[in-house]
């Protein structure tokens, strides 16, 4: 093989032509390596659709780079075999090409970053790892921001990001006079509302080949491969972004927390998969959303709500991840240890809300934020499932899941496993919340108004029992005070009935 000065390794979630390692390279002298490897598809047994999406997007990105003059060595899964890893593929190409060095942009996951520490010795050459400047806040800048603060709160961080990017700012003041319009964003969606539906792309020949490969290689992995409608090119992802901005963004804010039977996407963008793998640039998406607002095409609560998710939450969770890994992964504030009920894999449960969220996860590898947080996450927390098992489930089943974003959202925000590093209180709720924000309860065999009867909604007794069980850890939290005051008003007979019902539910989660 023709010699190269450097090998530039590009990972499956680095599909951006403006990536730091490509900017630092020279198409005339360097070679790009992109490798499909078994280890990345199986370190958790990813949803089939996620594997197909990432591999097809990688193949299309290789074509994109070749078209602009890069020499690309692309290894398919068939070529790298059943024991291929990124380490073994880099090592193979180094032996074939004898380059002076290997260059890459820092990986998103601690697991790989750690593994790469041994590369200079094992490869016997220089390995240069560049910062991933697709993020607005570097890990160092986040650490500086966090230093000396007693509590890390997203809202404070978010204001810094607004100032730094100038998004929705008028000189020093936030657009409209408020930083956050979340209070306007809690409406229930009417079942007959206009529904935009996400942008869909017919699979091309490359995607069809990948789908066949995934079916053959990973038949036992969770989830459906078809229908497959994700975009797999930059052009397709950009079309999905434009479709969202014109068709769904105007209502994104108002119905952000809503859930509706048979409507998996509502007014959500379904852009996280494209942003996380590099097909869309997060700051560019935010600038386009701001432009739509400034042009009078979308209201402020929608634009602000959307931009906050990206420059606020997305950057904040990444900062927390790199600040606290690897210890973060094993944190378990409540000492929860139960196994994940098998209905998380089958969707076979009589609880209509969980059935809906898990069925659509199986079909689309997608659920929106409130379904992840207040349905599947809420139930797991109330039922005392081991946070590590919950984390593995979320990392496996969602097309946008990479550990840097999934772990803090799951272990921190959803399971409160970090004891409040990320969230100021546990996100727990009874059936009343799900009833208020959705129409799931209307067709459920359980009664959301009842707490302790045989047919009572399981969320109800589990919720009050959770508060009672973890009183010592939670009652001094000022944001929990109201809940404990309500619990304390229950008659002792009611408290006993809640305890008995919760014990019965927890001993029979498989039958719920």
DSSP code, position 428: -
Q: How far is the CB of 114 from ligand DLZ (least distance, A)?
A: 12
Closest CB 383 distance from ligand SF4, rounded Å: 12
Burial of 71 (0-12, 13-18, 19+ CB in 10 A): middle
Q: Which of positions 396-455 make contact with ligand FAD (CB under 6 A)?
A: 398, 400-401, 405-406, 409-410, 413-414
Q: If binding is defined by CB under 6 A, does position 112 make contact with ligand DLZ?
A: yes
Q: Among residues 413 and 421, whose Cβ is nearest to ligand FAD?
A: 413
Does residue 463 belong to the site contacting ligand SF4 (CB under 6 A)?
no
- Inter-axis angle of helices 234-247 and 282-294, nearest 10: 30
Does residue 270 touch ligand FAD according to CB under 6 A?
A: yes
Among 444, 461, 487, 497, binds ligand SF4 (CB under 6 A): 444
Nearest to 88 by CA among 51, 128, 118: 118
Report the nearest approach of ligand SF4 to the CB of residue 259 (Å): 10
Coil, strand or helix: which one is 246? helix
Instruction: Count the site residues for ligand FAD by CB under 6 A.
Output: 28
Contact 33, 61 (CB under 8 A): no
Question: Is residue 441 near ligand SF4 by the rule CB under 6 A?
Answer: yes
Least CB distance from residue 481 to ligand FAD, whole Å? 24
181: left (phi over 0), alpha (psi -120 to 50) or beta: alpha
Cis-peptide into 194, omega within 30 deg: no
Out of 309, 396, 452, 509, the residue judged to bind ligand FAD by CB under 6 A:
309
Residue list 324-363, contact with ligand SF4 (CB under 6 A): 351-353
Q: How is 91-134 classified by DSSP, letter by letter?
A: HHHHHHH--SEEEEEPPSSHHHHHHHTTHIIIIISEEEEE--TT
Asked if residue 302 binds ligand DLZ (CB under 6 A), the reply is: no
80 interacts with, out of ligand FAD, ligand SF4, ligand DLZ, none, CB within 5 to 8 A per kind: none
Which residue number, 70 or 393, has a Cβ lying nearer to ligand FAD?
Answer: 393
Pick from 302, 297, 285: which is nearest to 182 by CA? 302
Half-sphere exposure of 423 (CA within 13 A, CB side): 21
Could you say whether residue 459 binds ligand SF4 (CB under 6 A)?
Answer: yes
Q: Which is nearer to ligand DLZ, 214 or 248 (CB)?
A: 214
Query: Which residues, 39 to 58, sit near ligand DLZ by CB under 6 A?
Result: 40-41, 46, 51, 54
All residues at 6 or more sequence positions from 386 whose CB lies less than 8 Å from its CB, including other chains: 332, 336, 337, 338, 339, 340
Asked whether the beta carbons of 140 and 146 are under 8 A apart, the reply is no
The answer to whether 368 and 266 are in contact (CB under 8 A) is yes
Q: Is 37 in the site for ligand DLZ (CB under 6 A)?
A: yes
Instruction: Mark 401-440 with x for binding to ligand DLZ (rule: CB under 6 A) and - for no binding.
Output: -x--------------------------------------
Q: Is residue 387 near ligand FAD by the rule CB under 6 A?
A: no
| Binding window for ligand SF4 (CB under 6 A); candidates: 257-265, 283-291, 433-441, 498-506 | 433-441
Contact yes or no for 85/255 (Cβ under 8 A): no
Query: In this structure, are residues 391 and 99 in contact, taking their beta carbons and an 8 Å threshold?
Result: no
β-partners of residue 338 are 385
Output the CA–CA distances (angstroms, integers) from residue 337 to 8, 230, 345, 390, 510, in the order listed: 43, 36, 18, 11, 16
Can you name the residues that pair with 104 across neighbouring β-strands?
9, 129
For 219, the enclosing helix (H) or strand (E) is none
Question: Applying CB under 6 A, does 451 fall inside the site for ligand SF4?
Answer: no
Using CB under 6 A as the binding rule, whether residue 446 contacts ligand SF4 is answered as: yes
Instruction: Pick what 269 binds: ligand SF4, ligand DLZ, ligand FAD, none; C-beta below 5 to 8 Å, kind-dependent.
Output: ligand FAD
Query: Is 258 an interacting residue with respect to ligand SF4 (CB under 6 A)?
Result: no
Q: Least CB distance from residue 505 to ligand SF4, whole Å?
A: 11
Residues that bind ligand SF4 (CB under 6 A): 351-353, 431, 434-435, 440-441, 444, 446, 448, 457-459
Residues that bind ligand DLZ (CB under 6 A): 11-13, 35-37, 40-41, 46, 51, 54, 86, 107-109, 112, 402
């Amino acid at each position: 093989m023709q010699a190269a000065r450097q090998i530039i390794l590009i990972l499956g979630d680095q599909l951006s032509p403006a990536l730091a390692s490509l900017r630092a390279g020279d198409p005339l002298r360097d070679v790009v390596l992109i490798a499909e490897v078994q280890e990345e598809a199986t370190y958790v047994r990813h949803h089939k659709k996620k594997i197909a999406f990432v591999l097809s997007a990688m193949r299309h990105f290789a074509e994109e780079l070749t078209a602009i003059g890069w020499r690309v060595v692309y290894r398919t899964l068939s070529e790298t075999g059943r024991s291929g890893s990124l380490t073994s593929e880099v090592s193979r190409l180094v032996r074939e090409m004898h380059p002076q060095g290997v260059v890459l942009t820092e990986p998103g996951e601690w697991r790989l970053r750690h593994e790469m520490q041994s590369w200079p010795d094992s490869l016997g050459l220089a390995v240069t790892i560049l910062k991933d400047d697709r993020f607005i806040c570097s890990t160092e800048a986040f650490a500086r921001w966090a230093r000396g603060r007693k509590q890390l709160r997203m809202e404070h961080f978010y204001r810094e990001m607004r100032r730094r990017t100038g998004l929705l700012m008028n000189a020093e003041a936030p657009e409209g006079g408020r930083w956050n319009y979340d209070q306007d964003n809690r409406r229930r969606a009417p079942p007959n509302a206009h529904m935009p539906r996400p942008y869909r792309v017919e699979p091309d020949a490359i995607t069809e080949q990948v789908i066949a490969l995934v079916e053959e290689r990973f038949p036992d992995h969770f989830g459906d491969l078809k229908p497959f409608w994700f975009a797999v090119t930059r052009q397709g992802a950009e079309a999905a972004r434009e479709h969202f901005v014109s068709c769904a963004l105007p209502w994104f804010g108002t119905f952000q927390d809503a859930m509706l039977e048979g409507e998996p996407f509502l007014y959500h963008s379904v852009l996280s998969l494209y942003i996380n793998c590099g097909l869309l640039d997060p700051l560019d998406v935010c600038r386009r959303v701001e432009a739509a607002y400034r042009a009078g095409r979308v209201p402020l609560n929608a634009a602000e709500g959307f931009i906050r998710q990206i420059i606020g939450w997305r950057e904040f969770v990444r900062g927390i991840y790199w600040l606290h890994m690897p210890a973060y992964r094993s944190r378990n504030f409540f000492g929860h240890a139960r196994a994940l009920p098998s209905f998380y894999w089958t969707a076979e449960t009589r609880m209509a809300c969980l059935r809906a969220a898990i069925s659509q996860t199986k079909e689309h590898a997608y659920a929106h934020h409130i379904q992840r947080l207040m349905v599947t996450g809420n139930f797991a927390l109330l039922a005392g499932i081991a946070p590590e098992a919950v984390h593995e489930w979320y990392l496996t089943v969602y097309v946008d899941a990479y550990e840097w974003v999934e772990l803090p959202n799951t272990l921190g925000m959803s399971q409160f496993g970090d004891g409040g590093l990320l969230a100021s209180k546990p996100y727990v709720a009874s059936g009343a919340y799900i009833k208020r924000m959705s129409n799931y309860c209307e067709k459920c065999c359980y009664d959301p108004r009842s707490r302790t009867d045989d047919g009572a909604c399981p969320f109800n007794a589990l919720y009050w029992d959770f508060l009672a069980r973890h009183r010592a850890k939670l009652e001094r939290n000022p944001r929990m005070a109201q809940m404990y005051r309500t619990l304390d008003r229950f008659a002792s007979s009611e408290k006993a009935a809640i305890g008995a019902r919760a014990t019965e539910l927890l001993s029979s989660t498989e039958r719920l």
